[in-house]
Structure 1
Amino acid sequence: MHVLVVHNRYSSAQPSGENQVVDQEVGLLRAAGHRVDVFERRSDDIAARSLWGKAAVPLLVPWNPGVRAELAARLRAERPDIVHLHNVFPLLSPAVLAACADAGVPAVATLHNYTQVCPPGTLNRDGGLCTECVGTRTALPAVRHGCYRNSRLATVPLAVSLSVNRRRWWSGVERFFCISAAQRDVLARSGMPTERLTVKHNFVPDPGARRVGDGEHLLFLGRLSESKGVRLLMAAWDELAAGGGVGVPLVLAGAGPMEGEVTAWAAGRDDVRYAGLWDPEQCRRAVGRAVAAVAPARAPETFGLVIAEAMAAGVPAVAAGHGAFVELVDDGVTGLLHQPGDAASLASALRRITARPDRNRAMGRAARRRYERDFSPAVGLERLMEGYRAAIAGWSGGGHGTPPAGKGHTGSRRDTRAGRDGGSR
C-alpha cells in the first residue's frame, strides 16, 4: 500500500509523544513493505521566519491556502492509496482536508488529543477537567478562559479553526482513529459521526528486555506540569516521606513549566532524584529498572505511552483512575489506580505497589501479557491496515467520502484510482 503521512511536527524543545508515535508508525509500515511518504511542516521552523512571517502564523491556523495547493499537487502526482493525517497545527491547517478532496484521495486521521472538541485539545483548565466547549458550536468558553497558553488572543485562532472547520473534518475523513475508548466516548457524545470513530491504541516497540528483579525506583517520566500531576505526586511523596518512605527513591525525568519547582524540591534529598531530560535509550533503561511507572495526571489522558512502555518491560503502573488509564491499567492485576487529584490516595497506591515484591512481580508479568495482546507492533500494524482498508472500501464504495463529481466510479478500487486527477468538491 502507498501511504502519505501528513504531520506538523511539534517543537523539539520538549519531547513529543505524538512525534514519537508518528515516527514509529512510519517505521512500522515501511518495515512491513509498504511505501510511506511524508508531507510535513515543523514548528521549529517558525523561529527562522521574519517578524511579519511570525505574526502571520495565527492567520494560517484556521486555513493555509498554500498548503492546500501544494498538497493537492503532490497527491495528483504521486497518487497514494490513502492519506493519514496527524497533527495539522499550526502550519498545515485543515486545508489538508480540502487538498485530499481536490485530488480525490481518501483520508484517515489519528486523533491524538481532543482538538475536535477543545481548542487546546486537553480538556484541561487550571489543572483539572474542563468540558465547557464539548458539544458547543463556537468554543467561546476557551477564548474567555484563555485556555491556550493562558492567553485569550492566542486561543482565538484555535477556537475559530474548531468552529469553522468542524463539519469539514467530519465530512472529509473516512476513519478517525481514536487512541482509546475513553477518547472515542467523549467525541461521540460531542456529536462526531460514531460510525467513523474506531479505537486503535498506540503501539510501542518491544524493548527487547524485561525487568529483572524487583526494581530500583519509582519512575515519573513525562512533562513536568500541573496537568500531568507533578505537584500532586510531590505532595503524595512528602506524605510518604513523613511516614518513613517506601524503601526506594522517586525518579522524575522530563522537562516543562514546573522544572524549576521540581529541581528545588528534589535538591538535597536522598529519596528523590530529578534526572532532567533523557534520550530514548535512557528512558528505556530507566523503565526497565522501575518498581512501577507513575502516571498521576489530573486531567483525563487520551492514552498513556509511559504505561504501555512499562507494560512492555514487564513493569506495573500506578495511574489516576480516569480517562484512558482505566482501560490501560487493570486495577490490582497490571497495576494500581488511585483517586484522581487525591494525594492521599496516590500515596496509598505507591505504598501498596512497593510493599509486596511478590505481588509486584505478578503484576509485572500480567502487564507484559497485556502488552503482547494489545500494544505490540504486530497488533498495531494489523489494526492500522484494517483501518486503511475500511476507509478505502468506504470511499471507493460510495460511502460518505465519495469521489468528486465527474470521476470514474464503479465500486472498484482500481477504477476509482483511474479517475482521480482533476475536479473538486
Structure 2
Amino acid sequence: MKDMNSIKVLMVHNYYRSKSPSGENIVFKYEIELLKRHGHKVIIYERNNDEILNSGVLRRSLSTFDMVWSLKTYKELKYLIQKERPDIAHFHNIWYLISPSGYYACKELQVPVVQTIHNFRMLCANGLLFRNGKICEKCVGKYPWRGVIYRCYNQSRLYSSPIVFAEMAHKLMTTWDKYVDCYIALTKFARNILIRHGFQNDKIVIKPNFVFRPFESLNNNKNFVLFFGRLSQEKGIDVLIKAFEYLNKINRDVPLRIIGDGPLKREIIYRIKKIGNIELLSQRSHAEILEQIKDALFVIIPSICYEMFPMTVIESYSMGKPVIASRIGSLSELVEDNITGLLFDPNDFISLASKIFFLYDNKELCYKMGSNAKIKYEKEYTPDVNITKLYDIYEKTLNKYFI
C-alpha cells in the first residue's frame, strides 16, 4: 500500500485559448497548490490551444488529427514519466491538443490515471449538451455522430467533425473504459449523465471543487447584485436582462453589476442603456472578480445549460454570499433553495425578477442565507475537506491498479 503522506502526482491540463478564461484552469491550479502545501511532489504537463492559433496553416490543419491522437503529447508524456516516475497521473482537460493519447502513455508505463470531468466533451461535440438554445441529450448513451449533422461545435460541420470523430474513435477503441482508472464527477448529476452514457459505475467517484479561504473581512455588503461570466446564450444573460427590464417596467430598482465578455456583449450594451441601473464592466482578473463578490449582496447564475460545477457558487459561499440560480442540472444540487439562496425555473425571467427583488428587499434574510452559505462552504468546500477526498481517490485507485 502506497504511503499517502508522500506521493508524486503528474498533473495534466490543456488550457483553452488565453482569451477564454475557464474555471477548469482555476481548479487545476488550486489542486496543484493544495498538493504542494501538503508536501507532495507535483509534476506538471500543460498545453495551450493558443499553439494552434500561433502555428502555420499546415500545422493548423494537422491539429485536427491531434484531437484524436497527439503524437507530441504521447512522446512528451512518456519522456516525462520515465524521467520523474510519478505514482499517479491526474488529468483535467485534454481537449484539443493533449488528446486521449496521454492515457496510453501512462498505461504503457504503468501509471494509474485519474480524470476529472469538467464538461461533457467525451459525449458531446460542444461539451454542454446544449443546442439551439435548449438542452440536448440526443447523444447521451449513443455514438455522437449527430454532432456533425447538427453543427454542434461552432455551428459548423467542418469544426464539429474532428471532435465527433475523436469521441467516436475512442469509444470504439474502449479508451474511456480501459485506459482511465477513475473518473471524478463534480456532482451527482454529472455522475448520472456519465453512467447513462455507458461509463462504468464503479469507476466514477464524486469530489466537488474547492476554493481557498478568503483572508479579508466578508462584511462588505454594498448595494448591488452581481453577475459575472461569459455573455452568451447558454449562460442565461438574455434571461437576466429580461428580468431587469421587467423590474424596471414595474418600478423596482435593483442595481446590477455585470462582469464579462462574449458574443452578446454588443446587444447587452444596447439593452441596458434603456434600463439605467445596470453597470457593465469588461473582463476582470480572477482576483478582481473575488473583490466584486465580496462587495455584492448576492450573486446570480441564470444559466439555461447544464453547468458542471460553477466556481461562482463556492466562491460566493466562501464569502458568505447567497446565490440565485436556475433550477437546472448541478445547480439544483449546489444551491439549497431558501437556505443558501433561491432557485428559479430556467428561462422564466418573471420568476427570476421576483426572486431578485425579494432577496434584495429582505436584507436580513439575505444575510441569513449568506451565513448558511458560509456554513455549507466550511462543511463541504474547504481545502481540508477536499484534500481528504483527493487522498481517498488516489489511494483507492493505486490499490486497485496494483492488486
TM-score of the aligned structures, taking structure 2 as reference length: 0.95
- Aligned pairs for 1:328-367 within 5 A: 328-367=334-373
Over the residues paired in the alignment, what is the CA RMSD in angstroms?
1.3
Q: Contact 2:87/2:111 (CA < 8 Å) preserved in 1?
A: yes
- Could you tell me which residue of structure 1 aligns to residue 34 of structure 2? 28
Q: Distance between the aligned counterparts of 1:301 and 1:204, measured in 2?
A: 18
Q: Does 1:295 align with 2:301?
A: yes
Say whether 1:8 aligns with 2:14.
yes
2-side partners of 1:133 and 1:127: how far apart? 16
The structural deviation recorded for 1:203 is 0.5
Contact (CA 8 Å) 1:214, 1:357: kept in 2 or not?
Answer: no
Contact 1:14-1:255 at 8 Å conserved across structures: no
- In the alignment, the residues of structure 2 paired with residue 48 and residue 14 of structure 1 have an alpha-carbon distance, to the nearest angstrom, of 16
* Residue 211 (structure 1) aligned with residue 218 (structure 2): yes
Aligned residue in 2 for 1:196: 203
CA contact (8 A) 2:16 2:48 kept: yes
2: distance between equivalents of 1:210 and 1:257?
35
Q: What secondary structure does 1:291 align onto?
A: coil
Shift of 1:127: 2.2
Give the Cα–Cα distance (whole angstroms) in 2 for the partners of residues 296 and 339 of structure 1: 9
Aligned counterpart, 1:405: none
1:123-272 superposed matches below 5 A: 123-137=129-143, 139-166=144-171, 167-212=174-219, 214-246=221-253, 248-267=254-273, 269-272=275-278
1:368 to 353, 371, 374: 374
Alignment of 1:78-157 (within 5 A): 78-137=84-143, 139-157=144-162
The one-letter amino acid of 2:382's match is S
Measured after TM superposition, the shift of residue 256 of structure 1 is: 1.1
Superposed CA offset, 1:222-274 (max 9, x none): 1110000000111111001111124x311110111111112222337531000
Query: C-alpha distance in 2, partners of 1:224/1:379?
Result: 33
Distance in 2 (CA, whole Å) between partners of 1:98 and 1:26 is 23
Question: 2:261 corresponds to which letter in structure 1?
Answer: A
Counterparts of 1:264 and 1:210, CA distance in 2? 36
Letter in 1 for 2:306: P
Cα distance in 2 for partners of 1:135, 1:371 equals: 34
State the alpha-carbon separation in 1 of the partners of residues 205 and 122 from structure 2.
15
1:274 pairs with 2:286: no
Which one-letter code corresponds to 2:170 in the other structure?
A: N
Shift of 1:365: 0.1
CA distance, structure 1, for counterparts of residue 160 and residue 26 of structure 2: 26
Question: Identity of aligned pairs, percent?
Answer: 31
Paired residue secondary structure (1:227): helix
Letter of the structure 1 residue corresponding to residue 96 of structure 2: P
SS at match of 1:301: coil
Aligned to 2:401: 395
SS state of the match for residue 300, structure 2? strand
CA deviations over 1:357-383 (Å, ceiling 9, x no partner) = 111110000000001111111112111
Partners of 2:176 and 2:266 lie apart in 1 by 40
Please say if residues 6 and 85 of structure 1, whose CA atoms lie closer than 8 Å, have aligned partners that are also in contact.
yes
- Deviation string 1:286-313 (CA, Å, 9 cap, x unpaired) is 1011111100100121112101111000
Contact 2:220 2:294 in 1 (8 A): no
How far apart, in 1, do the equivalents of 2:180 and 2:57 lie?
35
Output the amino acid matched with 2:127. G
Conserved? CA contact 1:210–1:314, under 8 Å: no
Q: What secondary structure, in the 3-state scheme, does the structure 2 residue paired with 1:251 have?
A: strand
**TM-score, structure 1 as length reference:** 0.91
Q: Does 1:61 align with 2:47?
A: no
Structure 2 counterpart of 1:272, one-letter code:
I
Code of the residue aligned with 1:39 in structure 2: it is Y
Query: Which residue number corresponds to residue 390 of structure 2?
Result: 384
Runs of at least 4 residues off by over 6 Å: none
CA distance in 2, matches of 1:324, 1:311: 16
Q: Could you tell me how far apart the structure 2 residues matched to 1:270 and 1:370 are? A: 35
Instruction: State how far apart, in whole Å, the 1-side matches of 2:207 and 2:242 are.
Output: 35
Tell me how far 1:211 sits from its aligned partner.
Answer: 3.4
Letter in 2 for 1:145: Y
Unaligned ranges ≥5, structure 1? 398-425
Determine helix, strand or coil for the equivalent of 1:108: strand
Q: Which amino acid aligns with 1:97?
A: Y
Give secondary structure in 2 for the equivalent of 1:14. coil
Q: For 1:130 and 1:215, locate their aligned partners in 2 and report how far apart those are by CA, in whole Å.
A: 39
- Mapped to 1, the partners of 2:80 and 2:291 lie a distance apart of 41
Following TM superposition, by how much is the alpha carbon of 1:214 offset from its aligned partner in structure 2, in angstroms? 4.5
The question of whether the paired residues in 1 share the 8 Å contact of 2:227 and 2:299 is answered with yes
Unmatched segments (≥5 aa) in structure 2: 1-6
The residue that corresponds to 1:423 in the other structure is none
Q: Secondary structure at the match of 1:176?
A: strand
CA contact (8 A) 1:14 1:256 kept: no
Counterparts of 2:248 and 2:20 in 1: how far apart (Å)?
Answer: 30
